[in-house]
Structure 1
């Protein structure tokens, strides 16, 4: 069976930096938020062709993990992505009801409008 190359599909995962810097969440807890968002977006978009291609070639999945400043910038990014029809899942940690992370469904990584949105609100997670 031939595998479908996914080198042009990327999942973008964005977490709030203030969770660790200001709110003093442990690194593992912040990483869990990213994992929750990534898992949820794959589940909610499981019938979309890009997601099916992405998970079929699971050994070559591409992800970019980014950080954004706080709740406001995460919200603004989510709204901007939605206006560009980018499927995403924004994770809200319960029972605290705190928006912590978002993940996009697998999308073409070279999409210029998407790259511009991420540049506006995010940087690589450090």
Structure 2
């Protein structure tokens, strides 16, 4: 079996720990970013393949320390030409998370090395 295409969602850990956002609000941020990434890049072949089988979608939710570290992940993804969507909550204008298009984990290289599974 080949490696699956996976959407990587990277959330700011400080939303819960420092800013004390409710869990539901944090989950909504990741959902917003994932849907936005799929919609924005809907013509990408990887998105078409990923959405072609709704029963086998893979997602990994990772955490990063704060806004600065999230923006660094965004910068690193852009440098590797990996499409993503950075969700910025309005009207606060606060970047909260990002989601990649469906990619192979190997495509990321070490971009997400500073991230850990969100817990």
| Normalised TM-score (structure 1) | 0.90
Consecutive unaligned residues of structure 1, counting only runs of 5 or more, are: none
The CA deviation at 1:7 is 5.0
Equivalence for 1:117: 111
The CA deviation at 1:6 is 8.4
Choose which of 101, 116, 121 in structure 1 pairs with 2:97. Answer: 101
For residues 70-112 of structure 1, give each alpha carbon's deviation from its aligned partner in whole angstroms, at most 9, with x where no partner exists: 000000000000000000000000000000010000011233x
Choose which of 74, 80, 83 in structure 2 pairs with 1:78. Answer: 74
Question: How many residues are aligned here?
Answer: 119
What's the C-alpha RMSD, in Å, of the aligned pairs? 1.4
The CA deviation at 1:10 is 0.5
Equivalence for 1:14: 10
Equivalence for 1:38: 34
| Normalised TM-score (structure 2) | 0.95
Consecutive unaligned residues of structure 2, counting only runs of 5 or more, are: none
Residues of 2 paired with 1:116 and 1:90: CA distance? 19
Residues of 2 paired with 1:83 and 1:109: CA distance? 16
